[in-house]
Amino acid sequence: MTRSDVARAAGVSPAVVSYVLNNGPRPVAARTRERVLAAIDQLGYRPNAIASALRGGSTQTIGLLTPNRSNPFYGSLAEEIERTLTEQGYLTLTASTYGYRSSEERLLRTFVDRQTDGLIITSGVSLSGAALAGVDQSVLVLEERPDSSLSTVSMDDESDAARAVDHLQVHGHDLIGCIVGPPYVSADGLRLAGWRGQQRRTGRPASDGLVALADAGEEGGYQAAGLLLSEHGRPWAVYGRRPTALFVASDVQAFGALHACWELGLSVPDDVALVSMGGTRAARFTIPPLTTMRQDTEYLARIACAHLLEDIRHPGTPPARVRLTGNLVVGHTCGCSP
């Protein structure tokens, strides 16, 4: 069914049907409006939302590029972004790169070709400034990019990591291992810098012998914890003992690290204390519950969406530069009393 079919059934012009559907720009008499609405109901007419949006210069869609929604942090963040945009009348199109750089530009072009109104690029996606420079849509990046002209909303990963390590130091730990993702991922590089800086500021060991680079999932954390805590691990060769604590750059890696501790017969926190980052909902259900630096995905999503929509609605708005801090959620893995 088309708008012309509705017009014929109601005995009006297609323009009048348009005025009824769009509540303007011209007024329609009450009885005429009732005839048009009755015809729409009788014929089962549904307006072409895409065509209407394109005529208005907007598709009411936002593209979200994320590393992996199976990661609880990114899954929660994507959920909050989608909820926030839905409240504002926008549809969210989400694509996951799974850490493959080769797929990032291809997915970016897909969003561009679909004429989304804007793009949100989450931390962990390594698109270069050159790749984003040719994009006409409004773009917001959820990580700090000091040299970029794009709007950025980021967590203060380096400072948050340092505060997490400080909490372990307060418990008396000096030999603190670090499990972190690949440093080319911005957030992981900053978290590694936070661990190293806090250790050095307090005169504690911060050598590469205490660092294990891990894949982003549980398996990565499991393998990395084994490298640092087993009797054949690198810390034994350098320091003659295993670390008494671990700073883990994400909750999901910490899940794997906890399993490795269990397999090695190490009690958490008595033999090995542990603090992670993320503050995901699953963190309080581990045994024992994780102590984690919570980075509020709901607040992050709302701030990011507000700035992106401001840029969409008011082109030429100066780029946003927002940095948020996390808060430590104390569980039992750090050594604090239940």
For residues 128 and 151, which has the higher predicted lDDT (pLDDT)? Answer: 151
| Six-digit token string for 171 | 């418990």
User: Please, are residues 93 and 50 in contact by the beta-carbon 8 Å criterion?
Assistant: no
CA gap 180, 190 in Å, rounded: 10
| Six-digit token string for 18 | 């348009």
Tokens 């590469």 belong to which residue? 208
- Kindly write down the DSSP assignment for every residue of 206-247, as one continuous string: --GGGEEE--SSHHHHHHHHHHHHSTTSHHHHHHSS--SEEE
Beta strands in the chain, from DSSP E residues, in sequence order = 61-66, 91-96, 118-122, 138-142, 151-155, 176-180, 211-213, 245-248, 273-278, 291-294, 321-324, 327-329
Condensed to tens digits (0 to 9), the pLDDT of residues 243-273 reads 999 999 999 999 999 999 999 999 999 999 9
pLDDT of 333 higher than 90: yes
Measured between alpha carbons, how far is residue 310 from residues 87, 202, 313, 314 in Å? 15, 43, 5, 6
User: Please, are residues 160 and 296 in contact by the beta-carbon 8 Å criterion?
Assistant: no
| Six-digit token string for 262 | 């269990």
Confidence of residue 107 (pLDDT cuts 50, 70, 90): confident
Average model confidence (pLDDT) for the chain? 89
Which are the contacts of 155, defined by CB distance < 8 A and separation ≥ 6?
123, 187, 295, 300, 323, 324, 325, 326
| Six-digit token string for 146 | 């000091």
- Interhelix angle 218-229/251-263, nearest 10 degrees: 50
Which are the contacts of 328, defined by CB distance < 8 A and separation ≥ 6?
163, 164, 167, 275, 291, 292, 293, 294
Condensed to tens digits (0 to 9), the pLDDT of residues 211-244 reads 999 988 899 999 999 999 998 888 888 899 999 9
Burial class (CB in 10 A: 0-12, 13-18, 19+), 116: buried
Which are the contacts of 38, defined by CB distance < 8 A and separation ≥ 6?
10
pLDDT of 52 higher than 60: no
| Six-digit token string for 181 | 């993702």
pLDDT above 90: percentage of residues in the chain: 59
pLDDT confidence of residue 124: 66
- Candidates 218, 183, 178; CA nearest to 199 is 178
Measured between alpha carbons, how far is residue 39 from residues 14, 20, 24, 34, 274 in Å? 12, 12, 18, 9, 66
If DSSP states are collapsed to H, E and C, what string results for 48-97? CHHHHHHHCCCCCEEEEEECCCCCHHHHHHHHHHHHHHHHCCCEEEEEEC
Confidence of residue 69 (pLDDT cuts 50, 70, 90): confident
pTM of the complete model = 0.80
pLDDT of 104 higher than 90: no
CA gap 121, 280 in Å, rounded: 20
pLDDT of 131 higher than 80: no
Quick one: residue 295, left, alpha or beta (phi over 0 = left, psi -120 to 50 = alpha)? Answer: beta
The neighbour count for residue 238, using CB atoms within 10 Å, is: 14
Residue 177 φ then ψ, to 5°: -80, 160
Find the largest Cα–Cα distance for the chain: 91
Per-residue pLDDT, averaged over 108-121, amounts to 88
Residue 203: HSE in the Cβ half-sphere, 13 Å Cα cutoff: 1
Condensed to tens digits (0 to 9), the pLDDT of residues 177-190 reads 999 987 667 788 89
User: Please, are residues 213 and 177 in contact by the beta-carbon 8 Å criterion?
Assistant: no
CA gap 312, 97 in Å, rounded: 25
Peptide bond into 288 cis (omega under 30): yes
